[in-house]
Amino acid sequence: MDYYDARETRPQDEREADLFARLPAQIAHARAHAPAFAQSLAEVDPTTVTSRAALARLPVIRKSELLERQKAARPFGGFAAVNWGRACHRVFASPGPLYEPEGARADYYRLARALYAAGFRAGDLVHNTFSYHFTPAGSMMETGAHAVGCTVFPAGVGQTEQQVAAVADLRPNAYTGTPSFLRIILDKADELGVAPSFTKAFVSGEAFPPSQRDALAARGIQAYQAYATADVGLIAFETPAREGLVVDEDIILEIVRPGTGDPVADGEVGEVVVTTFNPDYPLIRFGTGDLSAVLPGASPCGRTNVRIKGWLGRADQTTKIKGMFVHPAQIAEIVRRHPEIGRARLVVDNPDLVDRMILQCECAAGSDALAAAIAGSIRELTKLRGEVAFCAPGGLANDGKVIDDLRKYE
């Protein structure tokens, strides 16, 4: 079978209808069992959230808010619907520290689908080099591999010579971990005269350019990548088509303008926002802080879900100028105040080592009066003076940047 299940090839309108038929119950569950959502969604009638337009009216929850709420209410800041006991197998910590629950459900992070697309099958022995310490990466891969029917060797990170010794003894045919550590293992194996047994690999956590993929293929290892986070699990995964990443079947993905919750047009770079159907950690409109964009059309591999380009940078472009923090949300508010602006980008530089702000605005018909009005909004919202420059609609690069810090200190 080429697909993990039949849902991967269903018509997109059928998938969309299914997701939004399930969504009201998930919102009701989050309000009833996660105190943070009981507060933030108190005025929301779950039965009315049955479309993307309705979902887009709900607030975006970002990691900064998770962190602040967790500091005030341990362990999960009121966002989890589980606590210690049989329903919560493990708890992990990400930098911050930010704590995430792992529920007792099989394939909790939904990685099995991505591993299957990468060629992992029942009976494979997986050499898993993701960390099992503090962060959930090791468990994410292991639980997904178990769901596929694989056996896992929990190698973890480091101890390169011992890693190679285990490969020599056990002859695993599959690898999971970062692409850079796979290269380290292969180089050490060459140094020690060990012929690696890997024929497939599933990598994440780092950039994985085609040059690395081709270098591994030259050694007989077909490697695929995925985009997943500790908070929401699998978001999107690579398929044999090698054209973008296909979105997982059990999330609703939006691309929004950084600093806002406003969806952008398909193809425009913005922040990845995910709504999950995880009953244990029911994150509704979770802003990942990552930039990506929707690709047009369906994948040539036959999977019909939306595709994204993959990781294109970070959405949180907050910067400090003359002692004041300037946030993407402030730039978004300036754009809202002046409907003549299509898109805008704040460019920060420092000629003669003096900070300068220039708000570049896409505008069909700029004028001195409009520039003065926009400059006034900049001053009011950021407490800093800024210049205004107009360009034609479509003149700004489609890279998701709202604040572009070009300062040099040499």
| C-alpha–C-alpha distance, residues 288 and 137, integer Å | 16
The pTM assigned to this predicted structure is 0.86
Does residue 70 contact residue 25 with C-beta atoms inside 8 Å?
no
Chain segment 157-183, per-residue pLDDT in tens: 889 999 999 999 999 999 999 998 999
Let me know: does 267 contact 398? Beta carbons within 8 Å: yes
DSSP annotation string for 339-366: TTEEEEEEEEE-GGG--EEEEEEEESS-
Q: With left for phi above 0 and alpha for psi between -120 and 50, is residue 270 left, alpha or beta?
A: beta
**Mean pLDDT, residues 11-27:** 98
275: pLDDT strictly greater than 70: yes
For the chain, what is the mean pLDDT?
94
**Residue 1 pLDDT level (bands cut at 50, 70, 90):** low
Percent share of the chain, pLDDT over 70: 99
Instruction: Name the DSSP letter for residue 232.
Output: T
pLDDT tier for residue 206 given thresholds of 50, 70 and 90: confident
| Domains of the chain (ranges, CATH numbers) | 12-314 (3.40.50.12780), 319-405 (3.30.300.30)
409: confidence class by pLDDT, cuts 50, 70, 90: low
Output the pLDDT for position 10.
97
pLDDT tier at 243, thresholds 50, 70, 90: very high
CA-closest candidate to residue 234, choices 140, 151, 130, 142: 140
d(CA 302, CA 331): 40
For the segment 15-31, the average pLDDT, to the nearest whole number, is 98
How far, rounded to the nearest angstrom, does the alpha carbon of residue 208 sit from its chain's CA centroid?
Answer: 15
Alpha carbon of residue 205 to chain centroid: 11
Q: What is the pLDDT of residue 407?
A: 86
- Residues 364-382 have a mean pLDDT of 95
Taking only the tens place, the pLDDT of each residue in 41-73 is 999 999 999 999 999 999 999 988 888 899 899
pLDDT, average across residues 286-305 = 94
The answer to whether residues 343 and 335 touch, using CB atoms and an 8 Å cutoff, is: yes
Secondary structure class of 316 (helix, strand, coil) = coil
CA distance 132 to 393: 49
pLDDT at position 408: 78
- pLDDT tens digit string along 91-127? 999 877 889 999 999 999 999 999 999 999 999 999 9
